[in-house]
Chain A
Amino acid sequence: MSDTMERYLAPVIILVIILIAWEGLVATLQIEQFLLPRPTIILSNLFQVVHLSPADTTATDEELQNALKGNQLVVTIPAKASPHLTEALTSAAIIRLPWFNSSLLLLQGKNLSPILQAAWYTLKEALGGFIIGCGAGIVVALVTSRWVGTREALMPFAIAANSMPIIAFAPIANNWFGIDNPFSKMFIVAIMVFFPVMINLVRGLTQVDANSLELMRSYAAGDFEIIRKLRIPNALPYLFNGLKIAAALSMIGAVVGEYFGGPRIALGVFITQEAALFRFSSAWAAIIIACMMGITLYLIIILLERLAMPWHVSFR
């Protein structure tokens, strides 16, 4: 087995074990659904899995249709199915299994479309805020690292601001920009991501090895050349650390910002509404999508990091 396979296999196995334990414990301890729904119930909001085995002909057509409408995950299908059922089956993705001449059907869950729609809306807010905040952080860091006086005047405020719960300003931002205006969430996200990016980048631009600087000075290099050829490459690992923090913060900022109000198609609003209506499995499904978007953003940053600095110690 290759190293990469091994590296990814272990976490996947742990995830599967956690999901099975969750499912099993909720069922055996008879935990109420509104406290903690089973993973299969949560996932059925997004998609349903139907197991087909032509050998098994015991279930009736009617039982099958009911099973498909509900959240039942594994059913078997008789040799002959009604046209209605066949239609549902042909519109689904079919995954053939190598055992017992059987296959899996992947059907769209009843809440997939509204959740995805809301997720897309919230993702745009998060990305918008991420780009504005990180862009501003990078510009300010480059400017302040150039002028020592400005940096020393600004850094204490930046560090103080970085430890403030900026999300607390969300109701104010809603008031400023309008509760349904996506910019009210982008604003909060931008402020949240600005400080970690700026502080990390300033650190990277200024914490340069003394000999490396002396070397540049011995070549009579100008300030601009020192920034371009030494400070910026030196700062890349710091910048990406800031961007990773920002990626996680941007999803938090957008979703939590929406908890304080927003249009009905936003993910945060969707989650609060579903929870208020006791549709907890649906709320859980939306939360899982939010988590997956956050993880995806983070992974994209890691990919960019590898492309930008293949020389770095962490990739050896």
Chain B
Amino acid sequence: MTNLAVSIKSLHKIFNQGSNNQVHALKDIDLDIAPNEFVSLIGPSGCGKSTLLRVVGDLVSSSSGQVLVNNKSAHQARLDRDYGMVFQSATLYDWRTVAKNVQLPLELMNYAKDKKEARTREMLKLVELQDFHNHYPWQLSGGMQQRVSIARALAFEPSILLMDEPFGALDEMTRERLNLELLSIWEKTKTTVIFVTHSITEAVFLSTRVIVMSARPGRITQDITIDLPQPRNTDTRENVRFFQLETQVREALRESERMSV
């Protein structure tokens, strides 16, 4: 048995199957992701990248095909708490303080009190919010809220981090800072990351692989390996290879858009 974090074979997803407004959201998807990879899904809106992320996370069921996560079904992986989720909106619970939000998964997983608190402190330190334990979400900026949501996703050490345009609603400066922060977290935690984004720069800067998708029906058109040196930093953005890869992804996207029309 191969040791893959995610293995997807001939996956199809059809919404409203059999009715008039049937949508072929995902068509014949094959994708293997090795542990500790950082894979970005990029494509025009409606290409099914968020749906693919949710099928992997067992939040949306597949119509046909096979999805294995850590060599078991996606459903079993969810029950085993293999997934950390981060959405475009921070999705913090308004009624919980920052610390209590980070503790939410730990409560559900019955962590002991001292372990829960130690883990919360550790996570908030990781996202540099150690001084905000008792703040409520509304007292934080959008970027800070998203950092709390990343801390919450990583608190129970899931093996796979699923991120659905996590920085899409943030301004450019905040986004670049959080990109760097996410990379340093990824290096420390050694999780596998699947990252949905609209931004070519972001995808190239963060990923080890960029999966380019096209719409109607959603399918994978290119699989581009990002061979930029690790660890990445602000200099990476000025690397000639960075521009070449950006251009490659941009052209792939343009081609996939031609295919969808």
Contact = CB atoms under 8 A, between A and B. Distances in A.
Contact of B91 (A215, A221, A313): A215
Contacts of A219: 81, 104-105, 108-109
Interface in B85-126: 85, 87, 89, 91, 93-96, 104-105, 107-109
B78 A217 contact: yes
A218 B93 contact: no
Contacts of B136: 311
A148 B108 CA distance: 24
A311 B96 CA distance: 8
Nearest to B88: A211
A220 B79 contact: yes
Given A313-B138, A316-B138, A214 B109 contact: no
B83 interface: yes
B79 A217 contact: no
Given A214-B85, A218-B57, A220-B78, A233 B91 contact: no
Interface string B128-139: 000000001010
Contacts of B162: 218
Contacts of B104: 219, 229
A311 B87 contact: no
Given A211-B87, A313-B138, A316-B138, A221 B108 contact: yes
Interface in A223-237: 225, 229-230, 233, 236
Contacts of A218: 57, 59, 78, 83-85, 162
A311 B78 contact: no
B132 to A, nearest CB: 15
A3 interface: no
Interface in A293-316: 309, 311-313, 316
Interface residues on B, range: 20 to 34
A150 interface: no
Contacts of B81: 219-220
Contact of A214 (B87, B107, B138): B87
Given A218-B85, A219-B105, A311 B95 contact: yes
Given A214-B87, A219-B105, A230 B78 contact: no
B85 A215 contact: yes
A289 B93 CA distance: 42
Contact of B94 (A214, A220, A311): A311
A209 interface: yes
The residue among A216, A311, A313, A316 with the most chain B CB atoms within 10 A of its own CB is A311
B127 to A, nearest CB: 17
Contacts of B59: 214, 217-218
A212 interface: yes
Contacts of B89: 211
A209 B57 CA distance: 18
Nearest to B107: A229
B97 to A, nearest CB: 8
Nearest to A218: B85
Contacts of B83: 218
A225 B110 CA distance: 12
Contacts of B108: 216, 219-221, 225, 229
A212 B93 contact: yes
Contact of B87 (A215, A230, A233): A215
A312 B95 CA distance: 7
Contacts of B84: 218
A312 B80 CA distance: 34
Nearest to A308: B95
Contacts of A214: 54, 59, 85, 87
A312 B136 CA distance: 10
A230 B160 CA distance: 24
Contacts of B85: 214-215, 218
Contacts of B80: 220
**B57, B83, B94, B136: which has the most chain A beta carbons within 10 Å?**
B94
A236 B96 CA distance: 13
Interface of A: 209, 211-212, 214-221, 225, 229-230, 233, 236, 309, 311-313, 316
Given A219-B104, A230-B93, A316-B138, 20 more contacts: A211-B89, A214-B85, A214-B87, A215-B87, A218-B78, A218-B83, A218-B84, A218-B162, A219-B105, A219-B109, A220-B78, A220-B108, A225-B108, A233-B93, A311-B94, A311-B96, A311-B136, A311-B138, A313-B94, A313-B138
13 contacts: A214-B59, A216-B108, A218-B57, A218-B78, A218-B85, A218-B162, A219-B109, A220-B81, A229-B107, A230-B93, A311-B94, A311-B95, A311-B138
Listed from nearest, the 6 A-B pairs whose CB atoms lie closest are: A218-B85, A211-B91, A233-B95, A211-B87, A220-B79, A219-B108
